[in-house]
């Protein structure tokens, strides 16, 4: 019994005897233990005092807290169970990354070609349909595979069992390749998880009292695919919200492809909240080489040009929005200021994805890694993003942290 309660608390699942709140339009909510754990680690000061004073409050759902693939810190991503956990942690907006099957049905997967790391496909008879069947590790060559949703029909996709996103590059068998889960994650909640189609995610999220932020994933196959163009694909996503009578104000469609965003703006009622997922830091200029990620003036199109196109929301990774000043303090970056000056709303990604921060925050915190040395820095960075940058929302792999902060600060 004691073990069951500990797991429930860690997962943010209500357990008898602990503070929770039942929303009229969603499941019972609980912060679990993680927000208190992070607040305890903060250095003494105003932020710690403020947050610790909020630890006894009842959680409320907030659109500031966005479930990134649900709650994949502990649950298999893009599953029914992962999103239920995110909703119980107060996420007001939930995400389905959208891709398509061989018969052009929309399903929730982070990438069209991730089935070999997010499901059990390699240990089933469907493994022979994979674009690249499993190859065992040999010498200096790592084990590999590539299995796409477009390799399978929807009926075949539904037979797969989801798992924590992982693989073991040293594996000599397909069964061993299923391992490799990061030590800061867990398989405790992976058994019996359920995959979803995009349309099923709409019904689930609505039943949970949450809003919607679908991401149109870049296809791994050449487009058009069996007659379906990229614009057909972008429209199909919107059509499933229209068919479900979901109002545009409840949907934030996302894409890294600016053409998708512009299509939604120019051709649908759902373009006003279309989110441009900004990866221009990876772009290259023919004359100048790699664009300087610290200098937004080198980005094309510029922030103002995006706004002039009708883009209202931009979503960069956390590190692009912050930097260190001469005193080593975390402050808003020039990128953040340029976006705000152009009138763009900012959504950041993704908190709680880096694991323990004792030795720095890795990719998501690269612009401020010199000062990242404690898990408490999840809250420190979130505070700068919310109060100084002024973000409109935060994606998180464990939404309870963001929900707690947002509730405490009245966001």
362 pLDDT exceeds 50?
Answer: yes
64 pLDDT exceeds 80?
Answer: yes
7 pLDDT exceeds 50?
Answer: no
Domains present along the chain, CATH in parentheses: 2-101+191-409 (3.20.20.190), 111-177 (no CATH)
What is the rounded CA–CA span in Å between residue 108 and residue 77? Answer: 9
What is the tens place of the pLDDT at every residue in 282-331? 887 665 556 777 788 788 899 999 999 999 999 999 999 999 999 999 99
Per-residue confidence (pLDDT) for residue 2, from 0 to 100: 34
Determine the angle formed by the axes of helices 400-409 and 34-41, rounding to 10 degrees. 70
Cα angle 244, 248, 253 (rounded to 5 degrees) comes to 90
Query: What sections of 114-190 are H helices per DSSP?
Result: 115-118, 154-157, 174-177
Is residue 332 a contact partner of residue 318, using CB atoms and an 8 Å limit?
A: no
Of the candidates 90, 92, 91, 69, the one whose C-alpha atom is nearest the C-alpha of residue 193 is: 69
Of the candidates 233, 238, 318, the one whose C-alpha atom is nearest the C-alpha of residue 273 is: 238
Cα angle 188, 167, 66 (rounded to 5 degrees) comes to 60
17 pLDDT exceeds 70?
Answer: no
What is the tens place of the pLDDT at every residue in 202-260? 999 999 999 999 999 999 999 999 999 999 999 999 999 999 999 999 999 999 999 99
What is the rounded CA–CA span in Å between residue 391 and residue 393? Answer: 6
Per-residue confidence (pLDDT) for residue 299, from 0 to 100: 86
**Mean pLDDT for the chain?**
93
Lowest mean pLDDT: which of 81-95, 187-201, 296-310?
296-310
Q: Is 78 helix (H, G, I), strand (E, B) or coil?
A: coil
Residues 6+ positions from 74 with CB-CB distance below 8 Å: 10, 11, 85, 185, 186, 188, 189, 398
């Amino acid at each position: 019994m004691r073990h069951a309660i500990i797991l429930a608390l860690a997962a943010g699942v209500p357990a008898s005897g602990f503070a929770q709140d039942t929303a009229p339009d969603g499941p019972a909510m609980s912060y679990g233990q993680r927000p208190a754990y992070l607040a305890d680690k903060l250095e003494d000061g105003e932020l710690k005092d403020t947050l610790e004073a909020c630890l006894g409050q009842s959680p409320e759902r907030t659109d500031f807290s966005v479930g990134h693939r649900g709650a994949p810190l502990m649950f298999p991503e893009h599953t029914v169970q992962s999103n239920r956990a995110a909703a119980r942690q107060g996420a007001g907006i939930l995400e389905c990354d959208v891709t398509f099957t061989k018969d052009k049905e929309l399903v929730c997967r982070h990438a069209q070609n991730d089935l070999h790391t997010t499901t059990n496909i390699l240990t089933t008879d469907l493994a022979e349909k994979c674009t690249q069947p499993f190859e065992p590790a040999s010498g200096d060559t790592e084990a590999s595979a590539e299995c796409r949703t477009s390799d399978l029909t929807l009926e075949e996709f539904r037979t797969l069992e989801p798992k924590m996103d992982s693989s073991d590059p040293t594996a000599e068998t397909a069964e061993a390749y299923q391992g490799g889960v990061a030590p800061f994650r867990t398989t405790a909640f992976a058994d019996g998880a359920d995959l979803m189609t995009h349309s099923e995610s709409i019904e689930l999220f609505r039943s949970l009292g949450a809003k919607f932020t679908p991401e149109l994933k870049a296809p791994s196959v050449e487009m058009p695919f069996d007659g379906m163009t990229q614009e057909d694909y972008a429209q199909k996503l919107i059509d499933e919200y229209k068919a479900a009578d979901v109002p545009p104000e409840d949907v934030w469609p996302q894409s890294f492809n600016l053409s998708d965003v512009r299509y939604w703006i120019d051709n649908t009622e759902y373009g006003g909240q279309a989110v441009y997922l900004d990866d221009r830091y990876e772009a290259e200029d023919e004359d100048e080489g790699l664009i300087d990620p610290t200098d937004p003036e080198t980005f094309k199109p510029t922030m103002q040009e995006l706004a002039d196109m009708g883009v209202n929301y931009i979503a960069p990774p956390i590190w692009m929005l912050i930097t260190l000043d001469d005193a080593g303090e975390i402050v808003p970056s020039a990128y953040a200021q340029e976006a705000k000056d152009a009138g763009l709303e900012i959504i950041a990604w993704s908190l709680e994805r880096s694991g323990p921060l004792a030795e720095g925050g890795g990719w998501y915190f690269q612009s401020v890694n010199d000062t990242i040395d404690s898990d408490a820095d999840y809250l420190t960075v979130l505070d700068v993003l919310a109060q100084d940058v002024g973000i409109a929302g935060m994606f998180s792999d464990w939404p309870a942290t963001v929900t707690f902060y947002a509730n405490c600060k009245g966001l």
